[in-house]
């Protein structure tokens, strides 16, 4: 069984569109995250939710809006997509504190 | 401020040779340290972690890492590299509050 699954794996869209990426974890973890990996492989935290409550909200354009309907799901909605949003977006989960992160396989977003 | 430095952007080794990937961190308290591996098109997978105790930690796939507080280092080693080890390797520090800081990664190429 996949521990952290995110869909879609690939997303190609045009500038100005709105898109969503979904993430689900079946590990029973309390905390879920969204990370952005740019073309140079740099990983940047975007958001973190603990039990449906936002706990980390880094400097991210407000076009990005996370939503956590329950502690097993964390979706990412992006409005008015821009070329610079092209990247790989990773969902992850962990228990509290410094427990290791478990990552999904990523969603490669390409904005044309 | 917390930070993680991986000085080597890219390393090439011959199959069967030994490997050491460097990681230096900056963190005021006792760090929680991690190494992750990312294969092409995949998410990050935990190789090993250090929380406390023995400073030499063993991980999956024959990897080990040694925590050296005096040098603020957590270098990853493998005695004999296999072609399947070619991937991107990330060092990370857990700073509490579900906050993690990642290095910029080291890309490993294995030549036959």
Find out whether A28 and A3 touch, Cβ atoms under 8 Å: no
Mean pLDDT value across residues A71-88: 96
Q: Is the dihedral of CA A104, A105, A109, B2 positive or negative?
A: positive
CB contacts < 8 A, A to B, total: 62
Residue A16: pLDDT band with limits 50, 70, 90:
very high
Give the separation between CA B2 and CA B28, rounded to whole angstroms: 8
Give the separation between CA B4 and CA B104, rounded to whole angstroms: 8
Q: What is the DSSP letter of B28?
A: S
Mean pLDDT value across residues B108-112: 96
Residue of B nearest to A50 (CA): B98
CA distances from A42 to A36, B4, B91 (A): 8, 12, 12
Query: What is the percent of chain B with per-residue pLDDT over 90, rounded to a whole number?
Result: 81
Mean pLDDT value across residues A51-61: 83
Read off the pLDDT of residues B32-44 as tens digits, 9 standing for 90 and up. Answer: 999 999 998 889 9
Give the nearest partner residue to A101 out of B96, B100, B105, using CB atoms: B100
Give the nearest partner residue to B43 out of A55, A56, A90, using CB atoms: A90
To test the contact with chain B by mutation, choose from A7, A41, A45, A92 the residue with the greatest count of B C-beta atoms within 10 A, namely A41
Residue B97: pLDDT band with limits 50, 70, 90:
confident
Give the separation between CA A51 and CA A71, rounded to whole angstroms: 5
Q: What is the distance of C-alpha B94 from the center of its chain?
A: 13
- Pick the range with the lowest mean pLDDT from A3-12, A39-48, A75-84: A39-48
Report CB contact under 8 Å: B94, A41: no
Q: How far is B84 from chain A (nearest CA, A)?
A: 18
Checking if the pLDDT of A55 tops 90, the result is no
Q: How far is A81 from chain B (nearest CA, A)?
A: 23
Checking if the pLDDT of A1 tops 70, the result is no
Contacts of B92 in chain A (CB under 8 A): 101
Mean pLDDT value across residues A42-71: 89
Give the separation between CA A104 and CA A106, rounded to whole angstroms: 6
- Strand-pair partners of B31: none
Checking if the pLDDT of B1 tops 80, the result is no
Give the separation between CA A65 and CA A78, rounded to whole angstroms: 6
**Does the CB of A69 have a partner CB in chain B at under 8 Å?**
no
Mean pLDDT value across residues A49-63: 86
């Amino acid at each position: 069984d996949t521990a952290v699954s995110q869909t879609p794996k690939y997303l190609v869209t045009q500038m100005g569109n709105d898109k969503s990426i979904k993430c689900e974890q079946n590990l029973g973890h309390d905390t879920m995250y969204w990370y952005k990996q740019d073309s140079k492989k740099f990983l940047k935290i975007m958001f973190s939710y603990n039990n449906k409550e936002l706990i980390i909200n880094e400097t991210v354009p407000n076009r990005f809006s996370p939503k956590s309907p329950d502690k097993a799901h964390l979706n990412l909605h992006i409005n008015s997509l821009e070329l610079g949003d092209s990247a790989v977006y990773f969902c992850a989960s962990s228990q509290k504190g410094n427990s290791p992160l478990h990552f999904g396989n990523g969603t490669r977003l390409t904005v044309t | 401020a917390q930070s993680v430095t991986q000085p080597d952007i890219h390393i090439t080794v011959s199959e069967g040779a030994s490997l050491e990937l460097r990681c230096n961190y900056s963190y005021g308290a006792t760090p929680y340290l991690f190494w992750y591996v990312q294969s092409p098109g995949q998410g990050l997978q935990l190789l090993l972690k250090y929380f406390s105790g023995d400073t030499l930690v063993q991980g999956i796939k024959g990897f080990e890492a040694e925590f050296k507080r005096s040098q603020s280092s957590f270098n990853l080693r493998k005695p004999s590299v296999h072609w399947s080890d070619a991937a991107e390797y990330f060092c990370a520090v857990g700073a509490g509050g579900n906050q993690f800081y990642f290095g910029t990664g080291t890309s490993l190429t294995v030549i036959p």
